[in-house]
């Protein structure tokens, strides 16, 4: 073997360990990559594929829910609402009347028709209960309690609007009308049917930009509805200046409170707003 070949082989042997070291370093850098990673994948704890991590039981209790603000804003809050019914939550509010509860949100469909039926039986209760506060509320009810009846109405409003909490705070921003709630329950609520107002509220809660409807500003904005056997057709219309309609977005809201977009109008059409059909979006 020539001297030149021996030198080349020596260089390759020296380069291989360095190359392997570089690979190891690059692989290790993957632990800090900006892509979603399992919780601490490099800590040495194996996370079985397809087996979700079950939260600790103590993290699903009401005591944990009313802990520090950091705890209330953590993912552990959803653990409570995934393991407790609305009536169990109401009873916990009754048991801890002097501790306001911050609620970020609840699972979709958490408050059912059966829950609403049970809650209706509590709306006249004057027993003290803890107030419920949204995390975006600037008002915090220090030394202020709510009532079981008020919190039952707050939960019912969450059922009707498709969003809980339905207002920033249950004891300051929320002003329920018991007579209206009873009328709703007797005429449509107990049959599981949603009202026209509920259909609109569900859509504005789902699509916040629709809160700008209706409006008398320029350009004017209006809302048209049409009832169907199993729900409501709702159209949000932006009226034109010199032309009947500039644009419209049409939705269907089912009695089970699911929504779907049924059509859009993005150019002027020669239909007056009062003649516009929410069902056909035109």
Mean pLDDT by 10 residues, the chain (282 residues): 44 44 38 32 34 56 72 58 95 94 89 96 97 90 94 96 91 93 94 91 92 88 92 92 81 93 83 85 86
32, part of any domain: no
Domain count, the chain: 2
Element (H, E) at 101: strand 101-102
156 assigned to some structural domain: yes
* In a shared domain, residues 187 and 127: yes
pLDDT at 114: 95
- Give the residue from 120, 105, 199 showing the smallest Cα distance to 153: 120
Indicate the angle between helix axes 113-120 and 86-95, nearest 10 degrees.
40
- Answer yes or no: do 157 and 254 share one domain: no
The CA-atom distances, in angstroms, between 227 and each of 124, 194, 201 are 32, 10, 15
Residue 211 token pair: 């809160």
Chosen domain end from 140, 167, 191: 191
Do 238 and 171 share a domain, yes or no?
no
Domain end (from 191, 218, 241):
191
Asked whether residue 226 is domain-assigned, the answer is: yes
The whole domain housing 240 covers 206-275
Considering the domain boundaries, does residue 231 fall inside one? Answer: yes
Antiparallel, parallel or unpaired: β 132-133 and 101-102: parallel
Classify residue 74 as exposed, middle or buried by CB count within 10 Å of its CB (0-12, 13-18, 19+): middle
């Amino acid at each position: 073997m020539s001297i030149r070949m021996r030198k080349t082989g020596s260089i390759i042997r020296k380069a291989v360990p360095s190359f392997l070291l570089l690979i190891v370093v690059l692989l290790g850098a993957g632990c800090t990559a900006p892509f979603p990673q399992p919780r601490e994948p490099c800590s040495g704890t194996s996370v079985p594929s397809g087996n979700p991590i079950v939260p600790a039981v103590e993290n699903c209790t009401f005591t944990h829910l009313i802990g520090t603000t950091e705890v209330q804003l953590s993912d552990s809050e959803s653990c409570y609402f995934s393991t407790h019914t609305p009536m169990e939550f109401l009873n916990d509010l009754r048991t801890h009347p002097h501790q306001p509860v911050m609620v970020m949100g609840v699972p979709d469909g958490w408050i059912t028709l059966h829950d609403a039926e049970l809650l209706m039986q509590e709306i006249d209760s004057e027993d003290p209960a803890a107030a419920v506060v949204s995390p975006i509320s600037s008002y915090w009810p220090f030394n202020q309690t709510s009532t079981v009846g008020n919190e039952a109405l707050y939960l019912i409003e969450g059922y009707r609007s498709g969003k809980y909490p339905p207002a920033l705070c249950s004891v300051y921003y929320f002003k329920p009308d018991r007579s209206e709630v009873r009328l709703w329950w007797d005429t449509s609520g107990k049959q599981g049917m949603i009202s026209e107002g509920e259909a609109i509220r569900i859509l504005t809660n789902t699509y916040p930009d629709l809160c700008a409807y209706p409006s008398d500003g320029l350009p004017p904005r209006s809302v048209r509805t049409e009832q169907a056997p199993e729900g409501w057709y709702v159209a949000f219309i932006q009226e034109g200046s010199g032309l009947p309609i500039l644009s419209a977005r049409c939705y269907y809201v089912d009695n089970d409170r699911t929504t779907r977009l049924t059509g859009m109008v993005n150019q002027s059409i020669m239909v007056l707003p009062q003649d516009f059909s929410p069902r056909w979006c035109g």
